[in-house]
Structure 1
Amino acid sequence: MNILKYFLGTGFYSGLIPKAPGTTGSLAVLLIIFWIIYAQIYLLLFVILIGSCLISLWVAPYFEEEFGEDPGKMVIDEWAGQSLTFISISFTSDLKSGLIILIAGFILFRFFDILKPLGINKLQKYKGGFGILGDDLLAGLYALICLKTLIFTWPNLFGMV
């Protein structure tokens, strides 16, 4: 069972990169997110969000016991936050604008996840899975709000006109 928890918690081993595992985990799920949005299978994005949240809560006690508080190699929480960033985003048929939106959402999520402004750092202080997951979900929510605002205010930049 611990092998399965390790496999899922590391985001299918994407969190095992020694430098910046959270960024690597976010990039791994970004490839999946891009395909889902481009194929317009939005329900699957919701499934990944809910699934990664549930998995995160399930594997967190194992990871904290084995690797310490909020271990970097556990990136399934990044999968949840990165998924939330794109939960109501759609692409046009233009591949270039889709990539611009994807990169902007990734940068915004990593900004909020790394710097933890606006109360995100307070959520991380909770023990266990809720602390590990909560800060990433709030970072994803802030990134979603910013991304939607950017798309609305500068639609030409994102090829939405």
Structure 2
Amino acid sequence: MNALKHFLGTGFYSGLIPKAPGTAGSTVAVFIIFGIIYAQVYPWLLLFLILTSLISFWVTPYFEQEFGNDPELMVIDEWAGQSMTFIVISFTGNLQTDIIILLTGFIFFRIFDILKPLGINKLQNLEGWFGILADDLLAGLYALICLKTLIFTWPNLFGMT
């Protein structure tokens, strides 16, 4: 069972990348999200958010026991946060536009996840699974707000008119 927790918690082992495991994990999540939007099964994005959040809750005790408090190699929480970024984004069906939206959302999420402004850092300091997951979900929410605002304010940046 621990092997499964390790596999899922590390985001299919993407969290084992020695430099920037959170970015590596978020990158893998964006590819999964791309698959969901490309297949146009948008409800699966909500399912992905819920599932990754539940998995994060499930694997956190194992990771904290084995690797200490909020270990970097556990990136399933980044998957949940990254999916939060796109939860209510309207994709266009145009591959080029949708890739630009995904890259922009990815960048916004990584900025908020790394810098941890606006209360994100306070959430991360909470103990256990809630703190580990909540900071990424809030980073994803801030990234969503920025992305949605950018799309609404400057749709031409994304090839939308």
**Equivalent-residue separation in structure 2 for 1:94 and 1:53 (angstroms):** 29
Q: 1:114 matched to which residue of 2?
A: 114
Task: Provide the aligned C-alpha RMSD in A.
Answer: 0.8
Gap runs ≥5 in structure 2: none
**Equivalent-residue separation in structure 1 for 2:67 and 2:93 (angstroms):** 44
**Equivalent-residue separation in structure 2 for 1:90 and 1:38 (angstroms):** 12
Counterpart residue type for residue 71 of structure 1: P
Q: 2:17 matched to which residue of 1?
A: 17
Name the SS of the counterpart of 2:8 in structure 1: helix
Counterpart residue type for residue 105 of structure 2: G
Identity %, equivalent residues: 74
Counterpart residue type for residue 130 of structure 2: F
Give the TM-score normalised by the residue count of structure 1.
0.98
1:36/1:42 contact within 8 Å kept: yes
Counterpart residue type for residue 127 of structure 1: E
1:14/1:25 contact within 8 Å kept: yes
Task: State the shift of 1:79 in Å.
Answer: 0.2
Q: 1:8 matched to which residue of 2?
A: 8
**Equivalent-residue separation in structure 2 for 1:154 and 1:38 (angstroms):** 23
Regions of 4+ moved over 6 Å: none
**Equivalent-residue separation in structure 2 for 1:131 and 1:16 (angstroms):** 21
Task: State the shift of 1:91 in Å.
Answer: 2.0
Q: For each residue in 1:103-148, what CA deviation from the matched residue of structure 2 results, as whole angstroms up to 9, or x when unmatched?
A: 1000000000000000000000111100100000000000000000
Gap runs ≥5 in structure 1: none
Name the SS of the counterpart of 2:81 in structure 1: helix
Give the TM-score normalised by the residue count of structure 2.
0.98
Residues 18-97 of structure 1 correspond to what in structure 2 (within 5 A)? 18-97=18-97
**Equivalent-residue separation in structure 1 for 2:142 and 2:50 (angstroms):** 18
**Equivalent-residue separation in structure 2 for 1:148 and 1:159 (angstroms):** 15
Q: For each residue in 1:35-81, what CA deviation from the matched residue of structure 2 results, as whole angstroms up to 9, or x when unmatched?
A: 21122211111111000000101110110110011000000000000
Q: 1:147 matched to which residue of 2?
A: 147
1:38/1:91 contact within 8 Å kept: no
Q: 2:132 matched to which residue of 1?
A: 132
**Equivalent-residue separation in structure 1 for 2:134 and 2:110 (angstroms):** 15
State the aligned residue count: 161
Task: State the shift of 1:89 in Å.
Answer: 1.3
